[in-house]
Amino acid sequence: TSNHYSAWLALGKTRVTALIEGLHFVVLLPLVVLLSRPLGLAGVAYAELAATVISVSVECLMISRALGLPRLAYLKGLWRPLIAAATMAIAVAMLVAELAAGALAARPLLQLAATIPAGVLTYASTLTMLWLLAGKPRGAESLLLERILEISRAARPVWPRRYP
């Protein structure tokens, strides 16, 4: 992933990125050939998903090792986004099935227009809920909230006080 690329760059191991991309390609190509004929475009999407899961998993293990992070500590920071992503995938799949059976069956662009905001909202709300349930640990969520508050304070107009 792009964040891992930055870490490899900082560690002076840029070659690892090429190796991971090579792994991705080596996994992707046979899966595309295997899945595209019976499943069409969906098969290509499944092939990409599988190749990404495999290559990112390998890269996560490699980066935690290179940085000297215990794997459990590394995974501890990923559980909320992973659960939020899985929840989003399930919600979007259910919505797609519902839309495909209804009035939008022959209108894929409208389906897309409906599912993208639903996915964003599901991911963001699930991630926020998990962050709150985890006790608001310091991380990406808290940094984002701090930044939003800074921007909102800076954008707030300063009204002159009226004195009677």
Which pLDDT belongs to residue 124? 95
pLDDT tens for each residue of 90-107: 999 999 888 888 776 777
The residue to which tokens 């998993």 are assigned: 57
**pLDDT band (50, 70, 90) for residue 48:** very high
Which pLDDT belongs to residue 152? 84
The predicted model gives 158-164 an average pLDDT of 62
Which pLDDT belongs to residue 118? 95
Prediction pTM value: 0.69
Domain spans of the chain?
Answer: 1-76, 78-156
Cα-based torsion angle of the residue sequence 103, 106, 107, 112 in order, rounded to the nearest 10 degrees:
90
Mean pLDDT lowest for which of 15-24, 29-38, 146-155? 146-155
Residue 97's H or E segment, with its range, is: helix 79-101
Cα-based torsion angle of the residue sequence 130, 133, 136, 141 in order, rounded to the nearest 10 degrees:
10
Strands (E), the chain: none
